[in-house]
Amino acid sequence: MNWRYKKEEARLRLDSYIQAIGQAPVDSVSGSLKALQLNDCEVVMFSGPPCLRLVRSAGDEQEEVTVTVAGIISDKTLPPVYQLRSTKPEHVRYLGQFVRLTGLGSHTFEESQDRLREIFEEFRRTEGVDTLEGFEFGLYEEQYCIALHTRYLTDRRNVPGQRHIDFPADVDPEHALEDARDIQFIRTVDNVVQYAKKVEAQDGTARYEHLAPGEFKEGDLVEATGAFIAYPGGEAGKYKLVFALRSLALLTSAFREESRIPKRVPDEETSRGRGSKRRRFPTATKLKRTYISYAPQGSDGTQN
């Protein structure tokens, strides 16, 4: 965000939104991080792909727990993907979509740290977990952040029974990811991220409209939805906990748009005036060169 960005106004707008969604009833899909009831959740081991997930019971089935977090985009790596630096499997495996959110010092935003610590402890106490590496969110201008990310692809050997889900045009317009995955990787439901714009109606209800991921910019106020997954490390009993991105919804881009720096177009008369004062150097296509004159030599080889 540049110097024109109205940080104080954006922070107040964010605080107001976080407080509003914290008071709203939790729906069947996902509620705010603050409203999450960990007593209703449990950490369960899954085999395809191997990982630990935070889930809740939904009748006879287990449902992935997802929560929403509102913030201001401070950093991102989002689609579309046009070309790749490398198509080697070790590079393709780790390609992902990522967003880092800041509260610009908002205390309401930073209160999420307590709930995230509780979630970390829930995973750490799980049977079979000896070492758990926690979240790595980073900072923005020394302020607390929350980061969410999800890989574009999954190793086929870890999910041999699942089918590949085609990439939409606004994610992989030139089929760079499709070509790179070859037969070794596939796109599963774990790799799908939804991008949308949240539209508030006058009666207080909200609806989501599809928005191309390329429309999201630093400085936008957004609402991210994520799940909690711990992936195994290189050693038995070692896991890495991540906040997996499931969806990203634009709340407003007004603060970012208002801070846009206009392009400076030089005045035509001023440009002509400056141009006339410049010294013009002559040009030529041929240049005479001066060479050293050698003294004539005698028959005995000495110079005369």
Q: Give percent of the chain with pLDDT exceeding 70.
A: 85
**pLDDT grade for 28, boundaries at 50, 70 and 90:** very low
In a domain, residue 266? The reply is: no
In a domain, residue 122? The reply is: yes
In a domain, residue 93? The reply is: yes
Q: Tell me what pLDDT residue 272 has.
A: 60
Give tens-digit pLDDT for 122-176.
999 999 999 999 998 999 999 999 999 999 999 999 999 999 999 999 999 999 9
Answer for the pair 52, 44: CB distance below 8 angstroms, yes or no: yes
* pLDDT average, residue stretch 5-28: 83
In a domain, residue 275? The reply is: no
Q: Which residue has the higher pLDDT, 234 or 158?
A: 158
Distance CA 105, CA 115 (A): 18
Picking from 184, 193, 180, the residue whose alpha carbon sits closest to that of residue 226 is 193
Counting the structural domains of the chain, the total is 1
pLDDT over 90 at 251, yes or no: yes
Q: Tell me what pLDDT residue 277 has.
A: 59
Structural domain span for residue 197: 7-258
Q: Tell me what pLDDT residue 294 has.
A: 59
* pLDDT average, residue stretch 77-103: 96
Of 53-67, 151-165, 211-225, 241-255, the least confident: 53-67
pLDDT over 50 at 242, yes or no: yes
pLDDT over 90 at 278, yes or no: no
Please write down the HEC assignment for all residues of the chain. Answer: CCCCCCHHHHHHHHHHHHHHHHHCCCCCCCEECCCCCHHHEEEEEEECCEEEEEEEEECCEEEECEEEEEEEEEEEECCCCCCCCCCCHHHHCCCEEEEEEECCCCHHHHCHHHHHHHHHHHHHCCCCCCEEECCCCCEECCEEEEEEEEECCEEHHHCCCCCCCCCCCCCCCCCHHHHHHCCCEECCHHHCCEEEEEEECCCCCEEEEECCHHHCCCCCEEEEEEEEEEEECCCCCEEEEEEEEEEEEEEECHHHHHCCCCCCCCCHHHHHHHHHHCCCCCCCCCCCCCCCCCCCECCCCCEC
Q: Tell me what pLDDT residue 234 has.
A: 82
Q: Tell me what pLDDT residue 21 has.
A: 80
Give tens-digit pLDDT for 43-74.
999 988 999 999 998 778 899 999 999 999 99
In a domain, residue 126? The reply is: yes
Q: Tell me what pLDDT residue 55 has.
A: 95
In a domain, residue 281? The reply is: no
Distance CA 244, CA 66 (A): 9
User: Cα 303 to the chain's mean position, in Å?
Assistant: 79
* pLDDT average, residue stretch 193-208: 90
Q: Tell me what pLDDT residue 273 has.
A: 56
Q: Give percent of the chain with pLDDT exceeding 90.
A: 71
pLDDT over 70 at 35, yes or no: yes
The token pair at 189 is 């439901």
**pLDDT grade for 293, boundaries at 50, 70 and 90:** low
pLDDT over 90 at 29, yes or no: no
In a domain, residue 85? The reply is: yes
Picking from 109, 107, 53, 113, the residue whose alpha carbon sits closest to that of residue 246 is 53
Q: Tell me what pLDDT residue 200 has.
A: 86
Give, rounded to a whole angstrom, the gap between the first and last alpha carbons of the chain. 79
Q: Tell me what pLDDT residue 180 has.
A: 97
Q: Tell me what pLDDT residue 86 has.
A: 95
Q: Tell me what pLDDT residue 188 has.
A: 97
In a domain, residue 285? The reply is: no
